[in-house]
Amino acid sequence: MVSCPPCAGGAQWEYYGLDQDSNFLYYDKQSVHEVNEIVQIWQRKVFHSKNLFRIREILGERYRKLTEKLTLYEIHCPMRTAQERAFAYYDNDDRVIDSRYYESVRDWKKILSNTDMARLYWISCGSESKR
């Protein structure tokens, strides 16, 4: 099952930390869904103001009002791997700048210790029954 990007009113965002660039990270408590040991979870990354100029320069003029990114991650709990299934960039007016959904992506990456993805792993797979 693939969930749609959470809308502001329907999501239940829980703050869980900062990434290595000091961007603010949240996950949608209502979006956590597990099928066959794979958990799908939406992450919300609110870009720190000190990073926005650099990010906007890299991504281009279209992203001049960029403020956040929503990403649907799939986490394979037993293998401790994750992949990005979908994402959407939002501007400061809550409008989608760009979005992608990968229908059949299989780009599993090992989750490294002491990273923001490791924290998301423990949120998603932390119980003994999921490891």
CATH number, domain containing residue 47: 2.40.128.710
Q: From the CB of residue 57, how many other CB atoms can be counted at a distance below 10 Å?
A: 11
- What share of the chain in percent tops pLDDT 70? 89
What's the pLDDT tens digit per position in 24-66?
A: 999 999 989 999 999 999 999 999 999 998 998 999 999 999 9
Residue numbers of the domain that contains 35: 23-126
83 occurs within a structural domain: yes
* More confident call, 11 vs 47: 47
4 occurs within a structural domain: no
41 occurs within a structural domain: yes
Tell me how far apart the alpha carbons of residues 131 and 6 are, in angstroms, rounded to a whole number. Answer: 26
The two structure tokens encoding residue 89: 């960039």
17 occurs within a structural domain: no
What's the pLDDT tens digit per position in 73-96?
A: 999 999 999 999 999 999 999 999
45 occurs within a structural domain: yes
117 occurs within a structural domain: yes
- Burial of 75 by CB count in 10 Å (0-12 exposed, 13-18 middle, 19+ buried)? buried
Confidence of residue 10 (pLDDT cuts 50, 70, 90): confident
16 occurs within a structural domain: no
14 pLDDT higher than 80 = yes
Domain count, the chain: 1
127 pLDDT higher than 70 = no
Confidence of residue 129 (pLDDT cuts 50, 70, 90): very low
Q: Which range has the worst mean pLDDT, 9-13, 17-21, 71-75, 96-100?
A: 9-13
8 occurs within a structural domain: no
